[in-house]
Amino acid sequence: MEEEFYAIIKLVSGEEILSLVMVDENDGDPVVVLQNPITMKAFHNQQGTHIKVKPWMELSSDDFFIVKLDKIITMTETKDKRLINIYNDYVEDDDSIDLYNPSGKVKPSSKMGYIASVEDARKKLENLFKGTKES
């Protein structure tokens, strides 16, 4: 197996993916091994340019995928630090995301701004308004 490198790949299906890539010579039939492939789409609005990042295979729990060369139109190595940083940030954060929650409810965390319960916040505001100390 050769060295790993970051690549942007255009597949015959029309998809463009960014991935950490290794090429395996697999007995004369080379295949491309993709590690955590993602798709990226740029959006432009009044606030600036934003990039939407999604996993290439959204329902899979695997990190590695094998693609035969006949399914690839072109592949180019990227050394763009901005794209590589977006990729690495997404891959590192992806482990902590719960992708499926059957109830549809999300438990607030401190990262979401959750500081106190509604009841605690109400008591603190009432005490502040009344000018009394908290008990």
Checking if the pLDDT of 104 tops 70, the result is: no
| Residue range 40-87, pLDDT digits in tens | 888 888 888 888 899 999 888 899 999 999 999 999 999 999 899 989
The set of residues, in sequence order, having a beta carbon less than 8 Å from that of 83 and lying 6+ positions away, is 6, 8, 18, 40
Q: What average pLDDT does the segment 101-126 reach?
A: 72
Can you list the domains of the chain with their CATH numbers?
Answer: 5-130 (2.30.30.100)
User: 72-77 and 5-11 as β-strands: parallel, antiparallel, unpaired?
Assistant: antiparallel
Kindly report which listed range (11-25, 53-67, 72-86, 114-128) carries the lowest average pLDDT score.
114-128
CA–CA gap between residue 74 and residue 120 (Å, rounded): 58
Q: What rounded mean pLDDT belongs to the chain?
A: 83
Task: State pTM to two decimals.
Answer: 0.64
Alpha-carbon torsion angle 98, 102, 104, 109, nearest 10: -40
Checking if the pLDDT of 101 tops 60, the result is: no
